[in-house]
Chain A
Amino acid sequence: MILLVPSVALFVPCFVDQLNPRAAIAALRVLERLGISADVPDGAVCCGQPPANAGYEHDARRVLTRFADTFSSYDRVVVLSGSCAMHVRSHAEEATVARTTEFCTFLYDEVGLDAVRTLGATLEKRIGLHLGCHGLRGLGLAKPSEIHAPAFNKVRALLETVTGVTFADLDRADECCGFGGTFAVTEPEISSKMGRDRLRDYTSHGAEIIVSTDMSCMLHLGGIARRQGVVVPTMHVAEILAGSAA
């Protein structure tokens, strides 16, 4: 059952636009193959999270307002980042919050696994699945390890529609990778230590590719991997569903 949603926009966050365009292209293609022609309006490149989390919420407000205005005419705004979606949903006004959703959440909650399965992607690889913390604990993408509740993982369920995929079992299910926005450069030693530890959890459990809801985390883990000479690609969930990784 393909959900016909009248007007959908795709929000491509600033760093995805500049540094990971493939993830956005894949997301657009996935939506189109699912019968959703998403617009990518020019008006906004950022949700305002980086300056806001750095303590400059006041300056970030204008950026968020621009986001709200740009997407005000759409029924759904699909955001290609868990942490950006969470920022908007935590700080924007009601109408914007109501229309904004993260990409994997949108696919799982509104498009449905059956439809996603029709994408027919295959990938014979062991995936290291990385849910960004804001998407995990802030948006409810999966049950966090701290909480006593029935287990669920929307992102894993989406990836399980891909034939051939297996998942690396981690020592620490959902420990933060250490990116944290400006934290990555204001406390670089801890940030990179956390990243090294997280990367090692993936690689020591045979992950051949790290797949995430957040390319910011991937910039960080990927950058550490590259510095260490460890060859492990980092990709967005959309790229796997689009078959780009095969």
Chain B
Amino acid sequence: MSVDHRKAAAAFLADETRADWHDAALWWVRTKRDVMAQSVPEWEALRDTASAIKEHTLSRLDEYLERFERNAIANGIHVHWARDAAEHNAIVHGILARAGARRIVKSKSMLTEECGLNPYLEARGVEVVDTDLGERIVQLRGEAPSHIVMPAIHLRKEEVGETFHEHLDTPAGLANPIALAGAARIHLREKFLAADAALTGANFAIAESGGFVVCTNEGNADLGMAIAPLHIASIGIEKVIPRAADLGVFLRLLARSATGQPVTVYSSHIHGAEPGRAVHVVLVDNGRSTQLGREDFWRSLKCIRCGACMNTCPIYRRSGGHSYGSTIPGPIGSVLTPGIDLERYASLPFASTLCGSCTAVCPVKIDLDAQLYRWRQRVTSAGYGGRKKTVLATAMARVLERPPLFARGGALARRTLRVLPSRARRALSGAWGQSRDLPEMPRQSFREWYRAERGAHGS
């Protein structure tokens, strides 16, 4: 079934107070990002460098993947490869099963969301506890995260309070964020201490050193990794970077872009396992190599999952992450996801005014607005543009190509609309007229005026 972004957005906007609150919360994060960007003199040079490092890496991705594997294995890290979600899930489950691990703590990994890992493991008797606070909240509610960095951004504190009252036995009506976070701390601490294995994602995998980096503010990834004897990191193949020195560039950009902090509280580097423990990496393709081969869209693989594009997108802020119906929402989601299923996600590239703000905040300079435009062409060429729109657009082009026809049609429309009562005008103007009036119809078009005032003009 196709995602109907417009319908979901309209539903989100039906509660305008809530939509305003959601919009303001995300704009606030955008503002904090701006403060950071303005305070780093070399900010634009950093973006250029980060973009160039990523483009280079993607242009030699196979070599860097092999180098990473070689060095990781030398560090005592086990490396696995998964072509798709199904293979990834089977590999992770296999590692857990061999270790007899049944209670897992997981820190934020959009890749594991993408692969549907939680339900897969749960169906096989493995308890998976998402330990990022926002992720835990949505997990208890049975919802998907609505933002890749702030998973519960769509929820009011009262709603979190209700969820915790139901699942963690906090007092009814408790909505104080400090108290709620405190309750989660106690609840999750038990889980950390009892965990057989820790699952994480990775922000960066370093080819030259065979290690990977996990960035968090909460310390949940670190607690999981420090306590459980088994650590499995699911890493998309596009996360590889050449050198440890490159982290200087990326870590200076990541948190500033994501949350407006100079750096996350923890930037943890894993280059092996402590004695008696094991570290596994699962490198996942799941459509990334296909996207890499798309001339118009491969640059979307530069993404470092900061979420800045979502925070700035005026449509995302007013429609919410769930309206995209995809693991990754917002502008980046709208250029990554259509590549997976063009028909299902046909509406996503159109959920945009192409304002370009996303492109301007992206720390790795992905040409998001240009890619959205290109996806639109793919959607209509494939026949998923909708018959009505196709007929309308083709007719529009035909008229716009013929000035005399355009002039006659325009004059007729103006005359008609001028004499109609306002209610009829409103009705006739369709979707435009839902919330907007048409302007006063001028008696003369500019060209009619020009011809009358200046005489007929050929050329």
Contact = CB atoms under 8 A, between A and B. Distances in A.
A183 B43 contact: no
A46 B400 contact: yes
Contact of B353 (A21, A133, A197): A133
Contacts of A16: 446
Contact of B403 (A44, A62, A192): A44
Contacts of A21: 442, 444-446, 448-449
Contacts of A41: 457-459
Interface stretch (A105-113, A141-149, A152-160): A141-149
Interface in B2-34: 5-6, 9-10, 13, 16, 19, 23, 27, 34
A188 to B, nearest CB: 4
Given A41-B457, A53-B354, A55-B376, A190 B319 contact: yes
Interface string A208-234: 000000000001101110110000000
- Residue in B44, B376, B379 with the greatest tally of chain A CB atoms within 10 Å: B376
Interface string A180-207: 1111111111111111110000000000
A14 to B, nearest CB: 6
Contacts of A145: 34
A53 B360 CA distance: 20
B30 to A, nearest CB: 9
Contacts of B380: 54-56
Interface string B415-442: 0000000000000001110111111011
- Residue in B37, B361, B439, B442 with the greatest tally of chain A CB atoms within 10 Å: B439
B242 to A, nearest CB: 26
B40 interface: yes
A172 B30 CA distance: 11
Contacts of A18: 410, 413-414, 442, 445-446
A243 interface: no
B314 A194 contact: yes
Given A21-B446, A56-B390, A219-B439, A193 B318 contact: yes
Contact of B376 (A44, A53, A175): A53
A114 interface: no
Contacts of A197: 23
A50 B399 CA distance: 12
A39 B457 contact: yes
A63 interface: yes
B445 A148 contact: no
Contacts of A188: 431-432, 434-435
Given A185-B432, A189-B9, A42 B459 contact: yes
A63 B13 CA distance: 36
A86 to B, nearest CB: 10
A99 to B, nearest CB: 15
A180 B360 CA distance: 17
A57 B393 contact: no
A183 B350 contact: yes
A59 interface: yes
A187 B102 CA distance: 46
Contact of B396 (A44, A50, A57): A50
B365 to A, nearest CB: 11
A12 B403 CA distance: 12
B102 to A, nearest CB: 45
B406 interface: yes
A51 B414 CA distance: 21
Contact of B351 (A58, A187, A193): A187
B446 A42 contact: no
B443 to A, nearest CB: 9
Given A14-B400, A59-B393, A60-B397, A172 B439 contact: no
Given A18-B410, A51-B397, A53-B376, A190 B9 contact: yes
A176 B353 contact: yes
B266 interface: no
Contacts of A70: 459
B407 interface: yes
Contacts of A193: 13, 16, 19, 318
A46 B405 CA distance: 12
Contacts of A220: 436
A211 to B, nearest CB: 16
Nearest to B43: A148
Given A51-B393, A54-B389, A56-B390, A42 B5 contact: no
- Residue in A24, A172, A183, A193 with the greatest tally of chain B CB atoms within 10 Å: A193
A191 B434 CA distance: 11
Given A25-B449, A55-B379, A55-B380, A195 B436 contact: yes
A149 B48 CA distance: 14
Interface in B267-323: 312, 314-315, 318-319
A122 B175 CA distance: 56
- Residue in A25, A56, A73, A178 with the greatest tally of chain B CB atoms within 10 Å: A56
A167 interface: no
- Residue in B373, B376, B397, B442 with the greatest tally of chain A CB atoms within 10 Å: B397
11 contacts: A18-B414, A20-B442, A42-B403, A174-B357, A185-B432, A187-B351, A190-B9, A190-B319, A193-B16, A193-B19, A194-B315
Interface of A: 12, 14, 16-22, 24-25, 28, 39-46, 48, 50-51, 53-60, 62-63, 66, 70, 73, 133-134, 136-138, 144-149, 172, 174-176, 178-197, 219-220, 222-224, 226-227
Given A46-B406, A55-B385, A176-B314, 14 more contacts: A18-B445, A20-B442, A45-B403, A53-B354, A66-B401, A133-B356, A137-B359, A145-B34, A176-B353, A189-B10, A189-B13, A190-B315, A192-B434, A226-B437
Interface of B: 5-6, 9-10, 13, 16, 19, 23, 27, 34, 37-38, 40-41, 43-44, 312, 314-315, 318-319, 350-357, 359-361, 373, 376-377, 379-381, 385, 389-390, 393-394, 396-398, 400-401, 403, 406-407, 410, 413-414, 430-432, 434-439, 441-442, 444-450, 457-459
Top 3 A-B residue pairs of the complex, sorted by shortest distance between their CB atoms: A180-B353, A223-B436, A55-B380
